[in-house]
Structure 1
Amino acid sequence: MSSQPTPSSSSSRAQQVLTSSPPATELSPFELKDLLIKAASSDTHRLMLNAGRGNPNFLATQPRHAFLRLGEFALRESERSYSYLDSGFGGLPKETGLVDRFEVFASGHDHDEGVAFLRAAISYVDDQLGIDAESFLAEAVTAFLGCQYPVPPRMLPNAERIVARYLRQQMTGDRPTGDFAVFATEGGTAAMTYLFESLFANELLHPGDKIAIGTPIFSPYLEIPTLPGYDLEVVDIRMDQDHQWQYPQDELDKLLDPAVKVFCLVNPSNPPSTKLSDASLRTIAELIQSRRPDLIVITDDVYGTFADDFTSLFALAPRNTVLVYSFSKFFGATGWRLGTIALHEDNTIDAALAAQPDEIRDRLRTRYSSLTEDASTLGFIDRLVADSRAVALNHTAGLSLPQQLQMTLFALHALTDRLGRYQTAAKSLIRHREATLYASAGMPVYDAPEDVDYYTLVDLQRLAGQLYGQDFAAWFEKKDLGRDFLFRLARETGVVLLPGNGFEVVDASARVSLANLTEAEYVSIGRFTRTVLDEYHADYIAG
């Protein structure tokens, strides 16, 4: 990844931004974002509107109410163990009779939203998943208290079953894809980090290997492979903007190169915010299954829950695909750091490990010798857990138990919402914001069936042509005004947007998050965007 600027260089570049020209093009979009914020904040009497980051300003309240009520019950249960002491002592809650005692507790909160949710959750896991109510409640109580190490370190048993059920519902449409394991991680960013580290540690990737990246894409996927020590050769698999941001066949054919070891994609895409169509998914899955059965696929599907009728490649090419999913966006939980890695029990990575030559298998046997005498019995997902803690600290690995509990409650929130009311409201909110933004700028909204609308990508060159004709659009492109537009918008109006080219978008464009501001603020952004473009047009007319 791009290194962070030193205070002195950052100050120098920020001063340059505030006065005249934009910074060098090699800045990552997130470095550029910091400089845009400084430019937008230069007028202390004006509100700065940051639509560059995708942190939602909405969140799911019911599972949080449940977390707090469960915590209250858990503390009461803990205090029962040492009630004769008067020094704030608690102990490990006793499982026997736990459900009956919860019902006594719940009867005192008959109209409480959190208690009602917990009752529904207990009923659901018993009826739908066959999880004993007492076992579920005991795990949840202990998780809230955080009084035990995570055991197993990959994920608590009931939590894993519940989260797997949620992922199956949201990512596969309940297709029969076979069993899969889940590793709970500190957000999707940790999932990405662990996957790359473990692929190298297990000698499935080596410096100089080829890795395919589906672009446009979240910029760290572009930056991680080129880090010193990784030094991977990136093969660009580019979506076609003129065909609803799908992958053309000639781009997918690049995957037929046997030297390409891994294919990384984000679906729905970031920043175009478009899901892969059913036809595209079938094409990719057929290519993998028939011609590249050895290819490892990493699909990051964090925005899938905002799409209509979403299906992940994890469902259509299950043997080859690793699923990365984060609870951050859909549930408004970026601060909780809740992510997952899911891998089917029958998978191509374990097959590749088994087929490694004896020399490599001997090295890996030594690497994992503190865990098992025979590393060949250790699946890749459990190697991920061990590698996340430098192997030697595997016994203290795992996401903290309170985090696992909140993740479980988020999953249960979706599983028990039979009418999908929360999901419908979240989709409606961001899509209405998009319509407001474009209407305020005097621009038409072109909604395609695969659009998800968590972000919108404003193509400045096309917009210039639509508003003022192709001669102006050609002038805009010749002047290379895309980045200047972002800094002018920031300096003059206080609006911060991110450049599309930082995510490997070819045309001059700006990414607008539709998740993190108010309706009125999207009105302002639309108007401000039109104002700056009008000023460019005036410059063009003036010659």
Structure 2
Amino acid sequence: MSGEGEAQVEEILKNIGNLEELSPFEFKELLIKLARRKSERMMLNAGRGNPNFLALTPRYAYLQLGKFALSEAERHFGYMGGLIGGHSDREGIEARFEIFVRNHWNERGTAFLNSAVSYVRDYLGLPAGDFLHEMVQGYLGCDYPSPPRMLPLAEKIVARYLMKEMGAGYDLGYSLVDETQLFAVEGGTAAMAYLFESLKANRILNEGDKIALAVPIFSPYLEIPRLDTYRLEVIEVRADEERGYQIPREELEKLRDPEIKAFFLVNPGNPTSVKLEEETLEDLREIVEKDRNDLIIITDDVYATFAEDFRSVYSVLPHNTILVYSFSKYFGATGWRLGVIALHRDNVVDRLIASLPEEVQEILEKRYAPITPNVRELKFIDRLVADSRNVALRHTAGLSTPQQVQMVLFALYALMDEEEKYKKTVKHVLRRRYRALYRGLGIEPEESPGYAYYYTLLDTEKLAERLYGKEFAEWFVRTLPVEEFIVRLAVEAGVVLLPGKGFDVIHPSARVSLANLREIDYIKIGKTIRRLIDEYYKKFRGEV
């Protein structure tokens, strides 16, 4: 780097204040501005996990369903000159759909949509006419979501998809599918916001209570508990980098503390992109079943579909676990805002609410009285729905029905793909990008069956040591703090990464998203990082 460029970076660092106080996503916005300072240069933003791939087939099916839905609407009010339509009729809808399929067979999406109806009828054993009517009305968006929690057949189908992907079984008759209730929400972020709010409203989490977080973790989960709204005390349950970011038994032992009300985790992790191993899951099971049957576990499993042989905490401890899942990453659908909260019919939160003191029960009866005369029988999942609309507007709660329809088509696409062609393709793309990054760095990548490969953490000290030895690595991290390292990448090369520290990673590191750039771009990022380290190695040796 030229002396002029170095002075420019130092001036920027001097003027932007304390980087450590910024959340990684605020830091990212700053880095983007710095990376764009040279208009002739391409910016490589690997700081955000928004995928640049998406599932085509269920989207084409959505378009064909839309055509059929509109043809159903056009059957009414014909005398109005095509200005308005009506609702679909349940009677005869299957026959009309068969005619539609014949007339549109050569259009992409029709064959899948026809197969989906057959799968629902012939494999899942659900009435095809009811399914078509629910999907058509849902696509048209002409009714409020009913029930507000989730459309009935949509819930059955998405629950089966979830249990398949969560390693909990999904074959017909498997009890966990039938015992799982869903609340369709506006993505995983809405799910977490609703959960925090309802747990507080129902006096399960109160100011000053202890909760545990599996760290490193998605930075908003670090920030939310400390907000004035909640003021919770956070106990860290730390994964060990030397053990491949698995949570050691001694860290899980913290959960035996009865003062810890809830345990939050992301699995596979963000930013680590590592799934919990079977041994870790079994350790957690033993602790809960022996000493902590009152512990609430909230697991965000949005990256589950990218890991091999994934098994969710929900499949191990279903009565204690609230499962959060979003369709955004796997199907390339961040803009659709599709997520669910999954809860077993017999769950710890309902038991905890039932055991609240009488004076608290009376307060909650007043809160939920507008929606039911039997508040004490109101399940937590239904309280979630009510709280999502401040109770008074509960009758208009729920995820929009067109969103639920696309969610169902995504779920059916995965369920029907028994050879997992889409999943294998997506995994292949991510693994190629991971290897491309290391090809640019000029070293062999570390691979593991536990990796999801959606992100990767670059430990700058380890990277420097692999390249030029331990003595240089120690000098390098003293000379170039990771925040400055990341700023230099943005200013000099237009490369945007996120600091691991913002996710509560102890070691100096940067998170690289493998989801949102081309393979060739990851080679460029690797080469850029290598070039910067090479320059500092020359300084270390006194060559410049």
What TM-score, normalized by structure 1, do the two folds share?
A: 0.96
Answer whether contact 2:121 2:127 (CA < 8 A) is retained.
yes
- From 104, 118, 125, give the equivalent of 1:123: 118
Deviation of the 1:126 alpha carbon? 1.1
Answer whether contact 2:19 2:27 (CA < 8 A) is retained.
no
Answer whether contact 1:173 1:310 (CA < 8 A) is retained.
no
Deviation of the 1:127 alpha carbon? 2.0
- Structure-2 residue corresponding to 1:9: none
Give, in whole Å, the separation in 2 of the partners of 1:189 and 1:360. Answer: 29
Q: Choose 498-507 or 532-541, whichever is displaced more.
A: 532-541
Answer whether contact 1:177 1:318 (CA < 8 A) is retained.
no
Q: How far does the alpha carbon of each residue in 1:8-58 deviate from its partner, in whole angstroms, 9 at most, with x for none?
A: xxxxxx996377777431110001001111111111110001000000000
Change (3 A) 1:134 1:233: same
Answer whether contact 2:13 2:484 (CA < 8 A) is retained.
no
- From 24, 27, 44, give the equivalent of 1:29: 24
Change (3 A) 1:15 1:472: closer
- From 129, 142, 156, give the equivalent of 1:147: 142
- Structure-2 residue corresponding to 1:334: 334
Q: Does 1:505 pair with 2:500?
A: no
Give, in whole Å, the separation in 2 of the partners of 1:98 and 1:87. Answer: 21
SS at match of 2:322: strand
Deviation of the 1:128 alpha carbon? 2.4
Deviation of the 1:241 alpha carbon? 0.7
Q: Could you list the runs of 5+ residues in structure 1 that have no partner in the other structure?
A: 1-13
Q: Choose 502-511 or 14-23, whichever is displaced more.
A: 14-23
- Structure-1 residue corresponding to 2:81: 86
How many residue pairs get matched? 530
Give, in whole Å, the separation in 1 of the partners of 2:285 and 2:108. Answer: 43
Change (3 A) 1:255 1:265: same
Query: What amino acid is aligned across from residue 327 of structure 2 in structure 1?
Result: F
Deviation of the 1:142 alpha carbon? 0.4
- Structure-1 residue corresponding to 2:380: 380
Answer whether contact 1:163 1:411 (CA < 8 A) is retained.
yes
Query: What amino acid is aligned across from residue 210 of structure 1 in structure 2?
Result: K
Deviation of the 1:111 alpha carbon? 2.7
Q: How far does the alpha carbon of each residue in 1:62-116 deviate from its partner, in whole angstroms, 9 at most, with x for none?
A: 0000100000111111011111211511001111110110111110122333111
Answer whether contact 1:212 1:236 (CA < 8 A) is retained.
yes
Query: What amino acid is aligned across from residue 167 of structure 2 in structure 1?
Result: T
SS at match of 2:166: helix
Deviation of the 1:177 alpha carbon? 5.6
Answer whether contact 1:63 1:413 (CA < 8 A) is retained.
yes
Residues 305-324 of structure 1 mapped to structure 2, 5 A cutoff: 305-324=305-324
Q: Could you list the runs of 5+ residues in structure 2 that have no partner in the other structure?
A: 1-8
Query: What amino acid is aligned across from residue 85 of structure 2 in structure 1?
Result: G
Answer whether contact 1:177 1:315 (CA < 8 A) is retained.
no
- Structure-2 residue corresponding to 1:246: 246
- Structure-1 residue corresponding to 2:479: 479
Answer whether contact 1:212 1:235 (CA < 8 A) is retained.
yes
Answer whether contact 1:185 1:340 (CA < 8 A) is retained.
yes
- Structure-2 residue corresponding to 1:110: 105
SS at match of 1:113: coil
- Structure-1 residue corresponding to 2:391: 391
Residues 460-471 of structure 1 mapped to structure 2, 5 A cutoff: 460-471=460-471
Q: How far does the alpha carbon of each residue in 1:268-317 deviate from its partner, in whole angstroms, 9 at most, with x for none?
A: 00111000011111111121111110000000000000111111000000
Query: What amino acid is aligned across from residue 195 of structure 1 in structure 2?
Result: L
Q: How far does the alpha carbon of each residue in 1:341-369 deviate from its partner, in whole angstroms, 9 at most, with x for none?
A: 00000100000011111111100000000
Deviation of the 1:429 alpha carbon? 0.5
Give, in whole Å, the separation in 1 of the partners of 2:37 and 2:17. Answer: 15
- Structure-1 residue corresponding to 2:6: none
Give, in whole Å, the separation in 2 of the partners of 1:402 and 1:86. Answer: 26
Deviation of the 1:173 alpha carbon? 3.8
Deviation of the 1:520 alpha carbon? 1.1
Give, in whole Å, the separation in 2 of the partners of 1:103 and 1:163. Answer: 25
Give, in whole Å, the separation in 2 of the partners of 1:452 and 1:209. Answer: 33
Q: Does 1:354 pair with 2:354?
A: yes
- Structure-1 residue corresponding to 2:263: 263
Give, in whole Å, the separation in 2 of the partners of 1:227 and 1:215. Answer: 18
- Structure-1 residue corresponding to 2:5: none
Give, in whole Å, the separation in 2 of the partners of 1:23 and 1:87. Answer: 62
Q: How far does the alpha carbon of each residue in 1:481-510 deviate from its partner, in whole angstroms, 9 at most, with x for none?
A: 211110001100000000011001111111
Give, in whole Å, the separation in 1 of the partners of 2:211 and 2:480. Answer: 31
SS at match of 1:371: coil
Query: What amino acid is aligned across from residue 169 of structure 1 in structure 2?
Result: K
Give, in whole Å, the separation in 2 of the partners of 1:430 and 1:493. Answer: 23
Give, in whole Å, the separation in 2 of the partners of 1:302 and 1:109. Answer: 35
SS at match of 1:172: coil
Q: Does 1:138 pair with 2:126?
A: no
- Structure-1 residue corresponding to 2:165: 170
Query: What amino acid is aligned across from residue 39 of structure 2 in structure 1?
Result: T
- Structure-2 residue corresponding to 1:4: none
Deviation of the 1:229 alpha carbon? 2.3
Give, in whole Å, the separation in 1 of the partners of 2:384 and 2:168. Answer: 27
Deviation of the 1:451 alpha carbon? 1.0
Give, in whole Å, the separation in 2 of the partners of 1:190 and 1:212. Answer: 20
Give, in whole Å, the separation in 1 of the partners of 2:92 and 2:16. Answer: 69
Give, in whole Å, the separation in 1 of the partners of 2:472 and 2:175. Answer: 52
Answer whether contact 1:18 1:42 (CA < 8 A) is retained.
no
Give, in whole Å, the separation in 2 of the partners of 1:443 and 1:488. Answer: 22
Q: Choose 437-446 or 343-352, whichever is displaced more.
A: 437-446
Give, in whole Å, the separation in 2 of the partners of 1:452 and 1:443. Answer: 20
SS at match of 1:275: coil
Identity between Structure 1 and Structure 2 (%): 53
Give, in whole Å, the separation in 2 of the partners of 1:20 and 1:357. Answer: 54
Answer whether contact 2:249 2:280 (CA < 8 A) is retained.
no
Give, in whole Å, the separation in 1 of the partners of 2:410 and 2:134. Answer: 16
Query: What amino acid is aligned across from residue 27 of structure 1 in structure 2?
Result: L
Change (3 A) 1:389 1:348: same
CA RMSD of aligned residues (A): 1.4
Query: What amino acid is aligned across from residue 250 of structure 2 in structure 1?
Result: D
What TM-score, normalized by structure 2, do the two folds share?
A: 0.95
Query: What amino acid is aligned across from residue 456 of structure 2 in structure 1?
Result: T
SS at match of 2:65: helix
Deviation of the 1:478 alpha carbon? 2.4
Give, in whole Å, the separation in 1 of the partners of 2:213 and 2:183. Answer: 23
